């Protein structure tokens, strides 16, 4: 459970300091002085929205910290998460003093502490009513891949609740044109996400897979810089139709999904299929392209590749192929695509994709071994 607490804390730090644009100290006596004199609050709708968000994002932290400390004394269980949230929030607010797009606020600390306390109260209420607080994931590899997919779809994970921005996003709903390969990749992504969700939740939620996944569509409108045009909605509906009418009814759907994922890898890797005579240099530095592009684009593409490559290996493994052979086959395919990309003008031929595939396969292997070792 400690890993979950640390993961939530890492997400809070990331979201609170994004986009990580730090600068020298502004004209003030320092971050502590700014923090002490930051109690001003005006109860307008923007301030109330920020308060609600600050409370909501710290509730999972408080709940997870309570579960982690549940074997300790009652006072530690109740006060520990609140104190941890106070320390974490205070440190973040001090660092935000040096962030060009953030402001230090004592009100944020108070609301964050309140959110953690509400998370503790929620868990204690569930325990008193007889609900378990233990989370058992039967397929941790599938859960990891599902998180990668959600990260790729919802990156940068920063809420944007402005009605003006929402109106602009809705006005561009029909703006995107139809391109077959990206649309096919979206359809395959929905199908793979549904399969990963089925592996995580089990058969009891088979009929709710796509209704649950549909929550991503409106959520994209509420994330900074993202929207969901008709191609997202259309690919979702087509994937749902394929799943209900065909894929969920055949016996070897994992193998078919794996080959659909392979086709997506090949199509996106070679598009637009305009080859040139002279090869461009091959980049041997791993993940160079990820960090050399804009954060929003680079990391979203990275998470998307991790999901597609890892899901392809996972599906071949689920279809009966040994994990090492599935990983080797997909890595060799990616290496061939990277070699071909030397002759494609709009691609960067690099070592990242084969290495990422091997890394994802190793993580799937470690997660599977950890699950087997559980009592």
Confidence of residue 76 (pLDDT cuts 50, 70, 90): confident
Angstrom distance (rounded) from CA 165 to CA 174: 16
Confidence of residue 213 (pLDDT cuts 50, 70, 90): very high
Between the CA of residue 59 and those of 91, 113, 139, 253, 263, what are the distances in Å? 18, 9, 26, 38, 41
Considering the domain architecture, whether residues 49 and 105 belong to the same structural domain is answered as yes
Last residue of a domain, one of 128, 151, 178: 128
Give mean pLDDT, residues 54-64: 87
Q: For residue 321, say if its preceding peptide bond is cis, omega within 30 degrees of 0.
A: no
By the 8 A CB rule, do 229 and 173 touch?
yes
Confidence of residue 10 (pLDDT cuts 50, 70, 90): confident
Mean pLDDT across the chain:
85
| Predicted pLDDT of residue 135 | 40
| Predicted pLDDT of residue 57 | 84
Please tell me which residue, 176 or 283, carries the higher pLDDT value: 283
By the 8 A CB rule, do 338 and 283 touch?
no
Considering only CA atoms, which of 348, 329, 330 is closest in space to residue 338?
348
Confidence of residue 296 (pLDDT cuts 50, 70, 90): low
Considering the domain architecture, whether residues 218 and 314 belong to the same structural domain is answered as yes
Q: Which domain holds residue 364?
A: 140-373
| Predicted pLDDT of residue 73 | 79
**Residue 41: Cβ-neighbour burial (10 angstroms; 0-12, 13-18, 19+):** middle
Q: Is 135 part of any domain?
A: no
Angstrom distance (rounded) from CA 372 to CA 254: 22
| Predicted pLDDT of residue 354 | 95
Tell me the whole-structure pTM to 2 decimals. 0.74
Question: Looking at the predicted structure, is the pLDDT value of residue 371 above 80?
Answer: no
Report the 10 Å Cβ neighbour count for 317: 22
Considering the domain architecture, whether residues 98 and 181 belong to the same structural domain is answered as no
Considering the domain architecture, whether residues 111 and 163 belong to the same structural domain is answered as no
Angstrom distance (rounded) from CA 220 to CA 218: 5
Considering the domain architecture, whether residues 70 and 190 belong to the same structural domain is answered as no
| Predicted pLDDT of residue 131 | 46
Q: What is the pLDDT of residues 214-258, one digit of tens each?
A: 999 999 988 878 888 899 999 999 999 999 999 988 888 999 999
Q: What is the pLDDT of residues 82-137, one digit of tens each?
A: 999 999 999 888 888 887 677 788 888 999 999 999 988 888 876 665 544 444 45
Q: Is 133 part of any domain?
A: no
Last residue of a domain, one of 100, 128, 156: 128
Distant-in-sequence, close-in-space partners of 301: CB < 8 Å, separation ≥ 6 = 152, 290, 293
Considering the domain architecture, whether residues 281 and 362 belong to the same structural domain is answered as yes
**How many structural domains does the chain have?**
2
Angstrom distance (rounded) from CA 108 to CA 350: 43
Q: Is 134 part of any domain?
A: no
Last residue of a domain, one of 72, 102, 128: 128
Indicate the DSSP class of residue 72.
Answer: S
| Predicted pLDDT of residue 134 | 42
Considering only CA atoms, which of 47, 157, 159 is closest in space to residue 103?
47
């Amino acid at each position: 459970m400690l890993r979950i607490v640390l993961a939530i804390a890492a997400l809070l730090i990331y979201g609170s300091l994004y986009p990580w644009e730090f600068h020298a100290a502004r004209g003030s006596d320092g971050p502590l002085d700014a923090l002490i004199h930051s109690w001003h609050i005006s109860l307008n709708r923007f301030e109330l929205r920020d308060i609600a968000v600050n409370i909501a994002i710290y509730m999972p932290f408080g709940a997870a910290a309570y579960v982690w400390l549940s074997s300790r004394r009652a006072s530690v269980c109740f006060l520990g998460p609140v104190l941890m949230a106070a320390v974490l929030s205070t440190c973040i607010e001090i660092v935000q003093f040096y962030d060009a797009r953030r402001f230090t606020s004592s009100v944020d600390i108070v609301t964050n502490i309140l959110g953690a306390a509400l998370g503790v109260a929620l868990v204690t209420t569930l325990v008193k009513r007889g609900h378990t607080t233990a989370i058992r994931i039967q397929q941790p590899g599938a859960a990891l891949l599902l998180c990668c997919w959600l990260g790729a779809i919802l990156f940068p994970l920063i809420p944007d609740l402005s009605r003006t921005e929402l109106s602009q996003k809705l006005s561009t709903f029909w703006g995107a044109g139809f391109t077959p390969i990206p649309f096919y990749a979206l359809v395959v992504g929905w199908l793979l996400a549904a399969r990963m969700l089925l592996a995580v939740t089990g058969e009891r939620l088979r009929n709710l897979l796509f209704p649950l996944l549909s929550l991503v569509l409106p959520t994209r409108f509420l994330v900074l810089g993202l929207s969901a045009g008709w191609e997202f909605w259309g690919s979702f509906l087509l994937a749902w139709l394929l799943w209900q009418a065909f894929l969920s009814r055949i016996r070897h759907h994992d193998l078919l999904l794996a080959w659909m994922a392979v086709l997506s890898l090949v199509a996106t890797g070679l598009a637009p299929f305009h080859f040139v005579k002279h090869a461009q240099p091959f980049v041997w530095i791993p993940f160079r392209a990820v960090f050399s592009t804009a954060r929003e684009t680079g990391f979203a593409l990275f998470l998307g590749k991790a999901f597609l490559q890892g899901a392809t290996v996972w599906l071949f493994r689920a279809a009966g192929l040994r994990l090492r052979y599935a990983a080797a086959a997909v890595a060799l395919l990616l290496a061939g695509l990277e070699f071909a990309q030397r002759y494609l003008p709009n691609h960067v031929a690099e070592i990242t994709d084969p290495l990422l595939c091997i890394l994802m396969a190793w993580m799937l292997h470690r997660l599977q071994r950890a699950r087997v070792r559980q009592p």
